[in-house]
Copies of this chain bind each other. A is one copy, B any other.
Amino acid sequence: MQHLLPLDNLVAALSRLPGIGRRTAERMAMALVQDGRGLMRILANALLEADEGITCCERCGSITLSGINPCDLCIKPRRDAHILCVVESPGDIMKIEQSGGFQGRYHALMGKLSPMHGTSATDLRVDKLLHRLVDEGIEEVLIALGTDVESDATASYLKEVLAPREVKISRIAFGLPAGSAIEYSDASTLARAISGRQEI
């Protein structure tokens, strides 16, 4: 069978999505072609509207409507302007907002230190973070990164860079997740929960 260029291009574009391999992309493309309800056009329009309608906040990096930049999170006076939560990506900001556990402002690094993926300190938005400390009179930086090796390295690097500044540095707690039991916890989670024990 001849190769159909538009189909090949669609498969190639779909397989650039995270977690989508070539076989899955082919299956998606076939479903799109066979779909009788115009899904191909609906998805294309949703992409174009998202491309035009949303962007990353120039200040904190969170996702915002193109017309609202800096974003609501940065300008709302109700939020505590003295504490800055540093995260890896805009998605993390959404997750933390959904948790309702933080009322300060955010700063997305847009990555983490990773020699494997070629991400070095200059690729992260650290300069911007240092400027914000001064400009906004930040008193505490809360590092909200995960527990993998790259996140730990990034947290250590931030601690080093921030040390000379007059700012309190904290990191979110690691321990047993909500609803879990000692019995089902892995060794490294337990070790971190014990080393991070708190007086009650």
A-side residues, CB < 8 A to B, are: 1-2, 4-7, 9-10, 12-14, 16-20, 24, 27-34, 39-54, 56, 62-65, 72-73, 89-91, 93-94, 97-98, 110
Contacts and interface: CB of A to CB of B under 8 A. Distances in A.
A54 B2 contact: no
Contacts of A56: 33-34
Nearest to A96: B1
Nearest to A6: B53
23 contacts: A1-B62, A1-B98, A2-B72, A4-B54, A4-B64, A4-B65, A6-B49, A6-B65, A9-B46, A9-B50, A10-B46, A13-B46, A13-B47, A16-B39, A17-B31, A17-B39, A17-B43, A30-B89, A32-B47, A41-B48, A44-B44, A44-B47, A47-B47
